[in-house]
Amino acid sequence: MSREDRIRLGRSAGDAAREASRASAAFDEAVVAFVGINATDGRACDALDQYGQLTAGELAEHLGLTTGAVTTLIDRLERVGMVERLRDESDRRRVYVRPTALTRQIFAAIYVPFKQAWIDVSEGFTEDEIRAARTYERMSRDLNASFAALLREVTPPKSATSEERAKAAAARLKAFDVGTLRLKREDDE
């Protein structure tokens, strides 16, 4: 493959990733609107649904939030019956947050058919193609998280103009080196 073809294919993959990201965001918006919570609370419920239970610190890490913000989030979700706090039996200082039975029921009603649809969609793919797609999704996740972290480091004041925002982003992202990422390429399952 020529260098130009590789660049064109890379750009096309980047465009497809952006389209997938927008579609994913639209799906997430539909889920939280259906459930009746905000987007950040929905991301928290999704993480808890996926991992079962997390400490506030672990949840903060998954969401890219401060522990203070997550404490407020947990309080809010606990008030509406979406999560519950549980003390660790072996270390009473450690508190876990987990989704309630109602939350698990709601999320199962949405995500079990969603996961099945992915299985159905992938029926025509080879095992190697599915593994490559999974690897690509993981790499996309890592790249998105890295760029989000870089942009958070230079968040301009609310009064900043569009030009100032563009300059701040360009200055911070100019030095980005994809080689510094620990993109997950190996198959661990």
- Scan for tokens 């939280």, then name that residue: 32
pLDDT at 183: 57
Mean pLDDT value of segment 1-15: 89
**Mean pLDDT score of the chain:** 88
Give φ, ψ of 54 to 5 degrees: -145, 155
CA–CA distance, 106 with 82 (Å, rounded to integer): 10
Q: Which of the four pLDDT bands, split at 50, 70 and 90, describes residue 178?
A: confident
Would you say residue 189 has pLDDT above 70?
no
- The CA dihedral of 24, 28, 29, 34, to the nearest 10 degrees, is 140
Average pLDDT over residues 117-137: 89
- Predicted TM-score of the model (pTM): 0.74
What percent of the chain is predicted at pLDDT more than 90?
Answer: 50
CATH architecture of 36-124: Orthogonal Bundle (1.10)
